[in-house]
Structure 1
């Protein structure tokens, strides 16, 4: 947190974006480094600004979900360990006009393999039906 605060105050520094459990990195749950790597190219540099994460722990979309006045499409990865399933489900139950889609995927799988096409098709179908 000290590095995050210093970064926010202008003393720019970086940490690894992903790493193995126990390493100093933004994402260190088992499998996150491999999942992230599957979505990147060799040109990607494994760095993140810690200041970006200073407020992420305070980010609670479900607390304002009732205020949403537009239709919302929500995708939930059943095997996601990066984002709380309970938080996504809470958002989906609180928002007035939400459609929750569940997928048997982990956090990074929507970005590679066959999952992007499936999810994009679901989103396009929802969009055409909703708007």
Structure 2
């Protein structure tokens, strides 16, 4: 049973859940969601439970303006704010009596996979990083988006960015949409993806303004500063986080390891594959702590 917890992140109240393991004090995995993700989505909950069963305390949390955490306007991805939330979650975990403060692990998926690389580069106390299908720059061509669709997206991006500057309500769009729809991520399996993300707090919408900042957001520029072991889990058929972009993270990290799976980006959130991936991630941590 997970225990609800709260912690402060620069004046913003963040809400999390602590999944306790049997060993005390023991290592703790801090799990960081992806773009628009929340801690109660099935894949994130399954990962936290799996780590706890394997003997690792697991701390999930919602970024500011998402899920159960405070912050306005809602459904707005703030890259620097989310990294501050991760740092606050790590600080909170280190203060727990049941956690070994010298054994904090960062786990992140998609955009969260980029965040954990940046966070570990600035925190030499992190002992291991798991970056699952990590974002490392946009692909040259977005799957399921035509030239006209790209122009529409740029128009929405510009409008939402301007609304942010003028402190007006965001111009939100779907996170996931079918091929040809105006959404952050598109594909023929959109409905399956949405069904797999279903949870009490996840909403299929977000302000697209963050995509402008993400055009310059490259964790490979800091990967060489991550001193701890890094496991990069990538999909060979991933059109969001392509092999070209993910492989370089493992190459530039001094103690980087790369594990490829015959999978798409969203296959990692499906039960069949996520159980296999999680087992290998736990084995990686067991080797690190040994």
- TM band (smaller chain): 0.7 to 0.9
Matched, 1:61 2:214: no
Q: Which runs of 5+ in 1 are unaligned?
A: none
Q: Report what 1:95 is aligned to.
A: 253
Q: CA RMSD in A?
A: 2.0
Moved more, 92-101 or 34-43: 34-43
SS at match of 1:122: helix
- 1:47 alignment partner, SS class: coil
Alignment of 1:43-122 (within 5 A): 44-122=202-280
Aligned in 2, Cα 1:54/1:122: closer, same or farther, shift over 3 Å?
same
Which structure has the larger Rg over C-alpha atoms? 2
Matches of 1:110 and 1:15 in 2, distance apart? 24
* TM-score, normalised with respect to structure 2: 0.41
Distance 2:188 2:241 in 1: 13
Tell me the SS of whatever aligns to 2:181. Answer: coil
Paired residues of 2:158 and 2:209 also in contact (CA < 8 A): no
Does residue 5 of structure 1 match 2:150? no
The 1:93–1:103 alpha-carbon spacing in structure 2 relative to 1, beyond 3 Å, is same
**Cα gap change, 1:55/1:110 in structure 2, threshold over 3 Å: closer, same or farther?**
same
Structure ranking higher on relative contact order (CA contacts 8 Å, 6+ apart): 1
Gapped regions of structure 2 (runs ≥ 5) = 1-156
Does the CA-based 8 Å contact 1:4-1:52 persist in structure 2? Answer: no
Cα displacement (A) at 1:92: 1.2
Q: Say which structure is richer in strand.
A: 2
**Aligned residues, how many?**
130
Structure 1 or 2: larger helix share? Answer: 1
